[in-house]
Structure 1
Amino acid sequence: MNIKNISKKFLPIILAFTLIIASPSTLALGEVEQPQQMEQAEQQEYNVKEALTFLENLIKFVKLNYAYEVTEEQLVEGAIKGALSVLDGYSSYYTENEFKELNETLSGEFGGIGVHITEKDGYILVVSPIKGTPGFKAGILPEDLIVTVDDVDIKGFTTQKAASLIRGEPGTTVKLGIRRNGEDKLLYFNLTRAIIEINPVEYEILKNNIGYIKITEFNDHALENVIKVLGEFDNNKVKKVIFDLRNNPGGGLNEVLNILRFLIPEGPLVHIRDANENIRTYNSYLDAPKYKLAVLVNGGSASASEIFAGAVQDRGVGTIIGTKTFGKGTVQTVLTLVNGGGLKLTTAEYLTPNKNPVNNVGIEPDIIVENTTEEDLQLKKAIKILKEQ
């Protein structure tokens, strides 16, 4: 398949993101708590203060008596992370540097050189450079091994750790030492970092004038690029479209909802239930659907991908094909903290248009198709179904 990439970007994404923040509960005007309730509240406050005093003393004790170097800042950060660790697996505390990386992932933009990398046999392997970026222009090639960054040997580094060294502020420079097949000596590249935008959308017009759109994540650039593709489909009179959401881990709530509003007629797209059991419904306002749809999913399709598949399935505007989805049906709110760090907290659960739960359940496809290592049977099934419509 000759996939076109409509812009110079791609990066996998991990986390769901939204700006829905539950309102704090308040007392109604004139409502008065009973004395017994007040005593209980005071007792609870006292216990919290007592626990915090204990924690403060514990940190001081560890700082004075621990056999190795540790700072109070490290211990406090560890305590905060520990507090969040008792919640679900999607709520986390981020230090300032970690929060910066999270925001780059969510936005789909970062300062870097524009190469996809992975780990292989203890080395960092270039999968491919992104067209038009500093890495591409400098002549970095697929299968190059990055062995040093600014003269630091990175053998054994994880992809994330290596990426943190290669990325940086646009306009700054980074020196890469690269081992290339057929070259006896290391090749050195001095590159000036630039803003790299991650395009999560790939597309193609298949035989029988069937459109194919693969969305790798719902980052901040998903909507704009899907709109461009649908515009090209309209120019070519494409009326049947396959959306490939396999191994798409999710992304922004607004991104997926605004894409669905081009595909699903007027009515509910998803219901969000907050911590106070309040339900908010997000709707489409489209007069009539323009496309016949097939959606490919698998066990790696999560969060926003499940909102997409659930809306298409419940509203009856397409066929879901593949294997059962991941089952991540919660919404996270991302907050910036005064210390420069951040908090990602699960604040709500979402339900499909028919108010079916997704969390720890997943979405069962309309047609179950397992892929083989040799053939993409799921894609073949989607093409067959749309051809017959």
Structure 2
Amino acid sequence: MEKKEFWKGFGSALALVVVVALVWRTSLIQQWIPWQYLPFDMEMSKAAKTNLIEDFLDRYYVDEYDGDMVKESIYGGMVAGVGDRYTYYMTADNLEQYLQNNNGHFQGIGVKVYQTEDGEVTVYSLMDGYPAQRSGILEGDIIKGVDGVDVSSFALNEVAEKMRGPIGTSVEVKVFRPSDGKTHTFQIKREDVVMKSVNSKMLDDEKGYIQITGFKENTYDQFMEALKDLQSHGMKGLVVDLRNNPGGLVRAVYRIGDELLPEGLMVYTEDKEGKREELVCDDKYLDIPMVVLVNENSASASEIFAGAAKDTGAATLVGAKTFGKGLVQRLFTLPDGSGLNITIQKYFTPKGTSIHGTGITPDIVVELPKEYVVGDEVPVADDTQLNEGIRILNEKI
């Protein structure tokens, strides 16, 4: 009798648990899959799936969100899916900045900024002769406001974009200056700012030095101006410094290479179909002893020049192994102003070497002193790589 009562009670309890579980499960399913009773096409189009996801977000996401940003992220994620860091999608704003950077000029105040780990957008350099420098802004100033808007929580690119604008318009920039503990406000009129990618000087009576920091639309003109100036001072040997040069436009490096490298193949590329294109230098070039300085941050177009200089014997490479980017990208613009930067070719040095992922090992490997890291500005006296280049030129002049 007791056993019968036990099983009777157990059965009732079990039934209750099952009922509760069913109710809970039904509630859970209805909470998470509200579309379960609607017709659902398992072969739905990408557009339909995107719209469905958007409907879910609109209906259930707990906070407000930027719908346009979500859509832009879809495009970016789609392109990122190919797994190539150099193939990417750009919004219309990103594309505009990209084009300005490649053109070598922009409309703004001529200030270079970076963002610290705690989010402070800080001035690290002022472009010589431009509005920011003339206004009284100093290196180390922390940007706090732009046109009355607190930018303390803004991303670096957002702050930079707010300081840019049409030539002749003014922008109010508020900074905190750690050196005096005070806040300063400046009214600055925007100008067309030309980015300098070439620096040059005579190292002594015979040796010239040209530093190229990037290959932009205006780099060749700046290079030729520097080259002619050095020649007018009696240059007999040249150091070309490509350290920390991330690359840039292939046509820019080709035009410079055509001035410095001997007649023949400079570089060739191959696309996915194996189609080959060649860039060839003519027989008119500066035939003097040359050293090319490279390091871990010399990439892409810099490596095109360095690889050709090494393979043709036109120069001695000195420094550290280069970055190793042997890919060529092409920019495609879309009707809405956005763009795609797509890797379309691989490039090879004159001897047929692909440097992608491996880099170029200099003829003479020289490390900087341990107290300096890659990217630092190194005084000439401590610059072991430059001094090795000077030693080589002394032997050849």
Q: State TM-score, norm by structure 2.
A: 0.81
Percent of residue pairs identical:
34
CA distance in 2, matches of 1:319, 1:48: 60
The residue aligned with 2:173 is 176
The residue aligned with 1:193 is 190
The residue aligned with 2:394 is 387
The residue aligned with 2:203 is 206
Q: Contact 1:262–1:286 (CA<8 Å) still a contact in 2?
A: no
Correspondences of 1:37-52 after superposition (within 5 Å): 50-52=45-47
CA distance in 2, matches of 1:360, 1:182: 44
Q: Contact 2:322–2:360 (CA<8 Å) still a contact in 1?
A: yes
The residue aligned with 2:106 is 110
Q: Contact 2:258–2:285 (CA<8 Å) still a contact in 1?
A: no
Q: Contact 2:201–2:230 (CA<8 Å) still a contact in 1?
A: no
Q: Contact 2:171–2:189 (CA<8 Å) still a contact in 1?
A: yes
CA distance in 1, matches of 2:217, 2:317: 25
CA distance in 2, matches of 1:126, 1:57: 45
Is 1:293 aligned to 2:272, yes or no? Answer: no
Q: Which moved more, 1:257-266 or 1:177-186?
A: 177-186
Classify 1:384/1:350 alpha carbon distance in 2 versus 1 (closer, same or farther; 3 Å).
same
Q: Contact 1:208–1:387 (CA<8 Å) still a contact in 2?
A: no
Matched residue SS, 1:165: helix
Q: Which of 338, 354, 357 is the equivalent residue of 1:357?
A: 354
Unmatched runs of 5 consecutive residues or more in structure 1: 1-46
The residue aligned with 2:255 is 258
The residue aligned with 1:63 is 58
The residue aligned with 2:318 is 321
Matched residue SS, 2:85: coil
Quote the offset at 1:118 in angstroms: 2.7
Is 1:348 aligned to 2:318, yes or no? Answer: no
Q: Which of 369, 372, 384 is the equivalent residue of 1:377?
A: 384
Opposite residue 305 of structure 2, the aligned amino acid is: F
The residue aligned with 1:5 is none
Q: Which moved more, 1:122-131 or 1:350-359?
A: 122-131
Task: Give the number of equivalent residue pairs.
Answer: 343
Matched residue SS, 1:99: helix
Opposite residue 260 of structure 2, the aligned amino acid is: L
Q: State TM-score, norm by structure 1.
A: 0.83
CA distance in 1, matches of 2:214, 2:136: 28
Quote the offset at 1:52 in angstroms: 4.4
Matched residue SS, 1:64: helix
Which one has the bigger helix percentage? Answer: 2
The residue aligned with 2:38 is none
Q: Which moved more, 1:116-125 or 1:343-352?
A: 116-125
The residue aligned with 2:12 is none
Q: Which of 314, 327, 330 is the equivalent residue of 1:330?
A: 327
Opposite residue 319 of structure 1, the aligned amino acid is: T
Q: Which of 69, 72, 76 is the equivalent residue of 1:74?
A: 69
Is 1:160 aligned to 2:167, yes or no? Answer: no
Q: Which moved more, 1:71-80 or 1:296-305?
A: 71-80
Matched residue SS, 1:212: strand
Matched residue SS, 2:222: helix
Root-mean-square deviation (Å): 2.1
Quote the offset at 1:71 in angstroms: 5.2
Matched residue SS, 1:260: helix
Correspondences of 1:113-152 after superposition (within 5 Å): 113-120=109-116, 122-152=119-149
Quote the offset at 1:288 in angstroms: 5.0
Q: Which of 97, 103, 106 is the equivalent residue of 1:101?
A: 97
Quote the offset at 1:157 in angstroms: 4.3
Quote the offset at 1:182 in angstroms: 5.8
Quote the offset at 1:317 in angstroms: 0.4
Classify 1:48/1:218 alpha carbon distance in 2 versus 1 (closer, same or farther; 3 Å).
farther
Relative contact order (alpha carbons < 8 A, sep ≥ 6): 1 or 2 greater? 1
The residue aligned with 1:86 is 81
Q: Deviations over 1:255-294 (max 9, x none)?
A: 0000000001110110011121101110001345422211
CA distance in 1, matches of 2:66, 2:259: 52
CA distance in 1, matches of 2:175, 2:54: 44
The residue aligned with 1:367 is 364
Q: Deviations over 1:302-343 (max 9, x none)?
A: 000000100100111001111111111111111111011111
